[in-house]
Amino acid sequence: MTCIEARGLRKTFGPKVAVNGVDLLVEEGRIVGVIGPNGAGKTTTLNAILGLTPYEGHLRVLGRDPWRERDQLMRDVCFIADVAVLPRWIRVSQTLDYVAGVHPRFDRAKAEGFLGRTSIRPTHKVRELSKGMVAQLHLALVMAIDAKLMVLDEPTLGLDILYRKQFYDSLLNDYFDGNRTILVATHHVEEVEHVLTDLLFIRDGQIVFRAGMEELETRFREVTVNPEQLAAARALRPVYERQALGRSSLIFDGADPQKLAGFGEVRRPSISDLFVAMMSPNHGHA
């Protein structure tokens, strides 16, 4: 079943075009990374999906129009923004009381179970918690909601690497069940690589690249080319070339791996390297 369907999605703020004709199809049970630099249109796209901003074009989320049917949609959606929105004076136990009161699908015992594995106590006030602990509290509250769609917008912003790793491990092990859908927007590409099923790169309000992770395994190769082979390697039309330690690394899309092996060391490019390649201004849409 389709979770999100967008055709020609567009959003402007005065003369600025934030989202420019996005087409998107996300099936249920996928973990989709929306990767892009700051200002690329990630947050605006997510806000349209969440019914937080009006838009032009066609958009359906879980079969609903998110702007007109937001009340009903929010029963099946949970969301973590890039900034902590919990009031600093509130106690942890009060946040549980509040979410239990406003969301019909919140499982308080599950949230308490998640928090029991942290150093966060019910009597703590938010202002007594570190940034990492606030993120853990957010995640515990949201993961305890039985939602069909989870939307994460830069959820680990400002956290150290240990908390960021714990965050995504918890997401994968404690929340994702193969049926729920997770949409995560970030510019920390390497941190989400191991949890994703699908990848979208967004630039200037447009999706410039999309692929399933299985497809990436077979499609792309990076070769550190021996200098005497560089001209022959370039003849195979790499999608990107960079210099590293005096040698050239070339990324190829769909090239014959056996041919590439003759040029030097072949490996699968990291998502970070692929991101840089696809974001380079002279690269076309894929």
pLDDT digits (tens, 9 = 90+) for 88-112: 999 999 999 999 998 889 999 999 9
What total number of domains does the chain contain? 2
In this prediction, residue 283 carries a pLDDT of 55
61 and 196 part of one domain: yes
* Domain contains 102: yes
| Local confidence band at 189 (pLDDT 50, 70, 90 cut-offs) | confident
* Domain contains 211: no
* Domain contains 286: no
Q: Among the residues of the chain, which ranges form H helices?
A: 42-49, 70-73, 92-102, 108-115, 131-143, 161-170, 189-192, 213-219, 230-234, 257-261, 271-279
Mean pLDDT of the chain: 89
Is it the case that residue 148 has pLDDT exceeding 60?
Answer: yes
The strands making up 181-186's β-sheet, listed across from edge to edge, are 77-80, 149-153, 181-186, 31-35, 198-203, 206-212
The predicted model gives 188-193 an average pLDDT of 80
* Domain contains 176: yes
* Domain contains 32: yes
| Local confidence band at 86 (pLDDT 50, 70, 90 cut-offs) | confident
Q: How far apart are CA 207 and CA 36, in angstroms?
A: 9
Percent of the chain with pLDDT over 70: 97
Predicted TM-score (pTM) of the model is: 0.87
| Local confidence band at 212 (pLDDT 50, 70, 90 cut-offs) | very high
246 and 132 part of one domain: no
Q: Which of 61-70, 209-218, 256-265 has the highest mean pLDDT?
A: 61-70
The predicted model gives 117-146 an average pLDDT of 90
200 and 263 part of one domain: no
In this prediction, residue 164 carries a pLDDT of 82
The predicted model gives 47-60 an average pLDDT of 95
Looking at residue 125, the DSSP 8-state letter turns out to be: B
267 and 158 part of one domain: no
80 and 168 part of one domain: yes
In this prediction, residue 9 carries a pLDDT of 96
User: By CB neighbour count within 10 A (0-12 exposed, 13-18 middle, 19+ buried), where does 19 fall?
Assistant: buried
* Domain contains 240: yes
48 and 149 part of one domain: yes
250 and 186 part of one domain: no
Domain's final residue, options 143, 174, 204 = 204
256 and 149 part of one domain: no
* Domain contains 239: yes
Is it the case that residue 180 has pLDDT exceeding 60?
Answer: yes
Residue the block writes with tokens 């136990």: 93
181 and 234 part of one domain: no
What is the CATH number for 180?
Answer: 3.40.50.300
30 and 60 part of one domain: yes
Is it the case that residue 133 has pLDDT exceeding 50?
Answer: yes
Residue-number span of the structural domain to which 241 is assigned:
216-279
* Domain contains 94: yes
Domain's final residue, options 204, 227, 242 = 204
222 and 106 part of one domain: no
In this prediction, residue 286 carries a pLDDT of 42
220 and 195 part of one domain: no
Domain's final residue, options 143, 171, 204 = 204
